[in-house]
Structure 1
Amino acid sequence: MQQERKYRNILPGPPTTTNNENLANEDGEAVSGISSGQEGSKRKRRATAKACNSCREKKIGCNGLQPCSHCKRRGLACEYATISKTILNSIPSGMKLLDEKTANRHKHAAALLGLLRFVPDDQVHDVLQQLRAGRDAGNIVDSLRGQFHSADEIPFPNLLHAAPPPGQTSLEFELMQAYTSYDLEATAWSYSFYDEAEHLLEHETALGMATPNTVAAMLYLSMSATCHAKSTTAATEHLDHAIDLAKSIGLFGIADEGMSERWPDGATDFLWEKSLTQTAWGSFVYITTQCAQNKTCKIAYPPRSPIPGDAADFEDGKSPDGPHFPAYMGTTFPCLCKLALIAHDMIWVNYGNILRVEGYSMIEHMEVLYGRYLEWADRLPLELVRSGESAHHVLIMHIYFHAFVLDLFRPLVHHGDAIRARLESFTSQQASPEAICLASATQLGRIVVTYLQRFSSASHSFPWSTALLYFANAVMREMGRPADTSEKLADLRTCIFGYQRLQRSFRLSYGIIRSLLSMALREGVVGSSEARAIISDTDERAKHHRGHGEVQAPFIVDLDLGTLDPAAAHVDRLAAEFEELAIFNEFTVIVSGREATNTSTEAMGSDTEGQYNGNTGGERGRGE
């Protein structure tokens, strides 16, 4: 007998309705009610423009109601994130910002808190009463600012405008800085921002505003003007104005007897004093690097305040928990400041004496300074010793170290045998300025290869290009190295490749490439045909920059020539000489045996990209 089969019980159908109306079930699915009594047929869930936070986190469908069906069923709080469409349309996907109302509310609250520090107590009480009564904070801020008739009545007023809202992180600013390397159309924004910043600076200058914030802003304007390469004077003017302003408010450049123990304005607030200290030392480090490259003396006295983050000097008692800094500030920056102090003394020894001391008489002072450099290197903490895993800011610090060493002995280049004189404080018979410079140049070459291999910032961070500039100059200088043209040419190609990567973001790189090729043609390191091929490729890469005219910037490229004739060593002068040198090279160079190397730039680019964008084994075996 056949076994009886078991079937599922059939549930009754949905109730019939008298008309065709759409019913929504608890999951937000549309169900069609049919008057004929047929089963309700499910249609596709309607798309919603938003989902609650809980549904987003669980990645499940949300019907967009308040509360939604899932949160209602589970008894959860149904909340929606609100971000304005304007912000969403203006920033890359994935970035989270405060909505406009919240950002404005925080901005006005920060401005109001800053203003309350400088108004009488009775007025503070009035402001609190207005806030309790529900008056808008922005209106209160406008009212308070209107009571001040000059900028002098509010100490450092533009600092309040410069502070970002509490929810805004530095990530946005870093993305803006590097954005041109990803989107070439953003190049024009850099020039627009610079023009607007200059107008704002003129306005603040007319009001007589003198703040550490303005000092930092002027230095950024100087950097931007240099990298835009549109003027031979703008960058220097901004730099000099920043130095004068810093001296006027006591950041640096003041002798011990001319300055009180504390800041001139008598500031006692810990956070405010820390901001002054960081501005002073950050500005001092940057200006020192510029003075070393340009062979000029601009700051007579370094900052007298403690180095930020230096445990030996910083007064931890000013803060309940002591200062806390990220890695690049907590360890690298204090050591970089101490390195800049030695470089500051070096600059004044080499270029501060009107009656230039020459030849062998300079070596004794240089030897003392070199001993201080070595002592600084010996005292580096383990995490700042250069290795294959070093962070990019650690490598940049070592770049400056080797660049300063090369600058220390650079004046000896034009004094014959003085560069090969033995240093008496060393036991080795080979210890000479020439040997030391060769060692530092070799280390710079290794850092260049490592940086190109490991860090994407090689395309959008200009400070590391110091290694490219100093290494390229060392390559083209005869310092007892074997006269191997092929090795020099390979090193020069490496430096040019590095500048071509930076060229997407910085127009100055185009002029530096032309200048380096002019130097290479003059030294016979490269032939005219290859130099023209490189320039042709470089011109193609530079089309996105506004104003394809002559590159103009107070930037020294030929570092050795800069000690004798700085004007002739500038990027605009050397770049303009390229055509003349290329033509001269074509008609005067006699090639015996075989044609001069004529490698296309496309081949050079593909070979070099293969070496630095995936092969860590591309680094040549230079001696340590």
Structure 2
Amino acid sequence: MLNVDDSLHSFYFRDPPILHAPVLPIPGQRSQEAKDSGSWVPTPPKYMRQTFSTFCQFWTLAQEIAVLYLGKCERTLAERVPLSFAESKYQKLLAWTNTIAESMALNDHSPAHVMIFHMVIRMFYPFIQGTAAYSHQKLHSFSSDDSSATAIITASLNQLKRLALLFQKRHPSRMWAILVNPPLVQLGDVMLNRRLRHGPDRRLYFLLCLRTWIEMYQSYAVCWDVAKGFLSRAMRDGVMSSVEAKELMTELLRRGVHHKVPEQAMSSIVIDYDLAEGNLEVARVKVLAERFDELALYDEFTTGT
């Protein structure tokens, strides 16, 4: 559990990653040594199936990535992470997905926690930034002619958009868990990223993320800052007017009227990954959320709305 928690924090809070993965057996899996000795291994409850064990396996792989991606270094992310490293780790992840339990496969009846598991990946992100000359460079371990970091992240993003839509459609809001927040933060960040090419569905999926946070705010007070922070970004980048942003904030407040002081539910999660490369602290959700009124006032003065 320590590896899952620390790795998750490393990717979404930018905490220093742990240098070595835990050596204790993953719950639900018995090592050869445990099998030989007949020792007991804790088993997750049936309703979770293999989700927790699979998450532990995934975050063990992710920890290897986090050490290089998120370790302290003065060079930029694209400069310090070789494309060959990202490619090798991506191949390792692909090979690992072929070994996961059948119950973890996506289908029309997948439970919410299985869908959340599949709503992950951003390893090739540094190679699609405008300054990365090798973003379209062919990956030699793949046979396809269009295999590049850009092609992979585009395919991953399309899958994430589809999963986010299906998740809302198939599962009532009372079944949503806060673990769905990290992939939604990733999707929301990409939809507002000015360096990326966006299709006509950009606004649709950004609003999908916002609607999910508004629904989740009924149960999770921390979604106040997440929604408010992304609305600040949307106004800052000209994606949304102050009028629309204020209307959504009014709805957010209405959904969570039982939260007496929503501002007290603070978070330090990073929600602007481009900004974080230059100044980590100003890319955190609390800082961006606190700029909402300032950005709304600026929009009103400049647009007259």
TM-score normalized by the length of structure 2: 0.87
In the alignment, what sits opposite 2:63?
A: 344
2:272 to 551, 558, 568: 558
- The answer to which structure, 1 or 2, has the higher relative contact order (CA under 8 A, 6+ apart) is 2
Q: Which amino acid aligns with 1:411?
A: P
1:452 to 154, 162, 168: 168
Q: Distance in 1 between matches of 2:301 and 2:199?
A: 23
Q: Distance in 2 between matches of 1:462 and 1:498?
A: 11
In the alignment, what sits opposite 2:239?
A: 525
**How many correspondences in the alignment?**
303
Q: Which amino acid aligns with 1:518?
A: S
Q: Distance in 2 between matches of 1:316 and 1:392?
A: 32
Shift of 1:462: 0.6
Q: Distance in 1 between matches of 2:33 and 2:175?
A: 35
Deviations, residues 238-279 of structure 1 (Å, cap 9, x unaligned):
xxxxxxxxxxxxxxxxxxxxxxxxxxxxxxxxxxxxxxxxxx
Shift of 1:295: 2.7
1:503 to 217, 234, 241: 217
User: Residue 301 in 1 paired to residue 20 in 2?
Assistant: yes
TM-score normalized by the length of structure 1: 0.45
Shift of 1:429: 3.0
Deviations, residues 48-69 of structure 1 (Å, cap 9, x unaligned):
xxxxxxxxxxxxxxxxxxxxxx
Deviations, residues 483-509 of structure 1 (Å, cap 9, x unaligned):
53xx22221221111111111111111
Q: Distance in 2 between matches of 1:549 and 1:465?
A: 18
Q: Are 2:126 and 2:132, in contact at CA under 8 Å, matched by a contact in 1? A: no
Shift of 1:301: 1.4
Shift of 1:353: 5.0
User: Residue 424 in 1 paired to residue 140 in 2?
Assistant: yes
CA spacing shift, 1:320–1:476, aligned 2, 3 Å: closer
In the alignment, what sits opposite 1:179?
A: none
3-state SS in 2 of match to 1:421: coil
1:268-279, aligned counterparts within 5 Å?
none
Q: Are 2:225 and 2:267, in contact at CA under 8 Å, matched by a contact in 1? A: no
In the alignment, what sits opposite 1:488?
A: 202
1:323-342, aligned counterparts within 5 Å?
325-327=44-46, 331-342=50-61
Q: Distance in 1 between matches of 2:23 and 2:15?
A: 22
2:184 to 447, 451, 468: 468
CA spacing shift, 1:318–1:589, aligned 2, 3 Å: farther
Q: Which amino acid aligns with 1:541?
A: R
Q: Distance in 2 between matches of 1:358 and 1:459?
A: 36
Shift of 1:363: 1.1
Unaligned runs of 5+ in 2: none
1:99-498, aligned counterparts within 5 Å?
282-311=1-30, 313=32, 315-316=34-35, 325-327=44-46, 331-352=50-71, 354-356=73-75, 359=78, 362-399=82-119, 402=120, 405-406=121-122, 408-412=123-127, 413=129, 415-456=131-172, 461-478=177-194, 481-484=197-200, 487-498=201-212
Shift of 1:343: 0.5
Larger radius of gyration: 1
Q: Are 1:558 and 1:570, in contact at CA under 8 Å, matched by a contact in 2? A: yes
Q: Are 2:215 and 2:255, in contact at CA under 8 Å, matched by a contact in 1? A: no
Q: Distance in 2 between matches of 1:393 and 1:552?
A: 25
Q: Are 2:4 and 2:55, in contact at CA under 8 Å, matched by a contact in 1? A: yes
Q: Are 2:189 and 2:272, in contact at CA under 8 Å, matched by a contact in 1? A: yes
Q: Distance in 1 between matches of 2:136 and 2:108?
A: 32
Unaligned runs of 5+ in 1: 1-281, 591-595, 597-624
Shift of 1:479: 6.2
Identity among equivalent positions (%) equals 24
Q: Distance in 1 between matches of 2:262 and 2:5?
A: 29
Q: Distance in 2 between matches of 1:457 and 1:565?
A: 35
